[in-house]
Amino acid sequence: MRVRQAYRFALDLTGSQTRAVMAHAGAARFAHNWALAQVKTVLNQRTAERSYGLTDEALTLSIGWTLPALRRAWNVAKPTVAPWWNEVSKEAFNTGLDALARALKNWSDSRSGERAGRTVGFPRFKSRHRTTPSIRFTTGAIRVEPDRMHVVLPRLGRLKLHESARKMARRLEAGTARILSATVRRDGGRWHVAFTVDIDRIERRPTRPGSVVGVDVGIKHLAVLSTGEFVDNPRHLAANQKQLRVLGRALSRKTGPDRHTGRRPSNRWQRAAVRLGRTHARVANLRRDALHKLTTRLTREHGTIVVEDLNVTGMLANRRLARHIADAGFGEIRRQLAYKTTWNGGRLLVADRWYPSSKTCSDCGVVKTKLALHERTYRCQACGLVIDRDRNAALNLAALAAQFDTAGSGPVAARGANWKTRVRGQVAVKREPGATLVGQTGTVPP
């Protein structure tokens, strides 16, 4: 099975290497801003010419928004606008132009309705102070040294790793992996290199192929399984909130930058900002580690995993719970389950967003009309079942797997068509990348 997998390693750069990487990141930002300025100039000029009554044939020639077109325009202009262009790798300029090409395409698709989700705005100029330095290498010498503690990148040369790259090196030496690209990026005050690798993975099977588990994510418990297991929520952000407040207040007392007056930040402000950034990076790393351990264990053990299609964006609108929801990482759990089930030979089923998993009795199937959020214990008025609310939802999710097997490739769910809780109706099945959407739509009114 051929898959694309990322390997991420921390770097230990010297002072000269750090300056070289920053120069490459600055070149990427420069190329992005130059190309964006050209695009905006042509757009404004064509808009003005249309207001004069000129025909489309008489307008100023437009600049292509694709990466090859932007690259051709940059190659023509770089001797004039960037006489230092040969001091850095060409991949630095390609990184900035590629980012602009993607941003323009996303904006165009969003306006035409071809892109789902939030409306995408027009690309903005990148600032040195507010942009995360990043460079992506796709060509040239990209390899891991035999000692597995150094990597070689174009123009940057030999860079030392903070940890051994033996896992990736073994696959490269065996011929079961091939490096496609390498991205150098600064996160939390530290530089990392991420390799995108094309890997030939061995076909695996879960420990219990016939096992079906429903996973109900939440805040009090990170995940409640239909097997009866309650996974505690580490609440990494809440645990470090006191330290973050102290560092944030210390930062606010320093002389920071001011865009309006052009004031530069003091050295103490910069050191305080680094301390705050490192703490945020540590919280993010702890959260990532906990989620990876949970999702890996679930996908390696169970053959079928059923989760809910949660509206995380809408849930974040609740100002009382937004911080805790973001700290739990509901969307990241589903994303990891989607590709890890494929790697381990399992399958992921996603219940329809409007499926009443919490309101439905897992014993008799009666659906409650209302269920307040503060009611943590589910009490069925029909059969007298008393059970934990989240455990009840997990059991209902696990029961959907049997209905999916019966329905096969049944009718597609009318997502969002019915906002009210209805009695049980037909099974809804929809194929999604890396997952399958299942649920119950009820009777949709004409």
Are 168 and 144 in contact, with CB atoms under 8 Å apart? yes
Instruction: Decide if 98 is catalytic.
Output: no
d(CA 317, CA 294): 27
Q: Which of 187, 308, 309, 352 is catalytic?
A: 308
Strand 208-217 to 302-308 pairing? parallel
Q: What is the DSSP string of 171-231?
A: HHHHTSEEEEEEEEEEETTEEEEEEEEEEEPPP---SEEEEEEEEEE-SSEEEEETTS-EE
Tally of CB atoms within 10 A around 227: 15
Residues recorded for the chain: 446
Secondary structure letter of residue 131 according to DSSP = S
Instruction: Decide if 390 is catalytic.
Output: yes
The pair of structure tokens assigned to 144 is 């891991």
Cβ within 8 Å of residue 427, ≥6 positions away: 400, 403, 404, 406, 407, 410, 411, 438, 439, 440
The pair of structure tokens assigned to 372 is 């307040």
CA angle 275, 280, 281 (to 5 degrees): 95
Task: Name residue 340's amino acid.
Answer: K
Are 60 and 49 in contact, with CB atoms under 8 Å apart? yes
Instruction: Decide if 308 is catalytic.
Output: yes
Backbone phi and psi for residue 33, each to the nearest 5 degrees, phi listed first: -65, -35
The pair of structure tokens assigned to 143 is 């390899």
Q: Which of 91, 98, 187, 216 is catalytic?
A: 216
Are 221 and 232 in contact, with CB atoms under 8 Å apart? yes
- Long-range contacts (CB closer than 8 Å, 24 or more residues apart) made by 174-181: 176/200, 179/142, 179/143, 180/4, 180/138, 181/136, 181/137, 181/138, 181/142
Residues labelled as active-site residues: 216, 308, 390
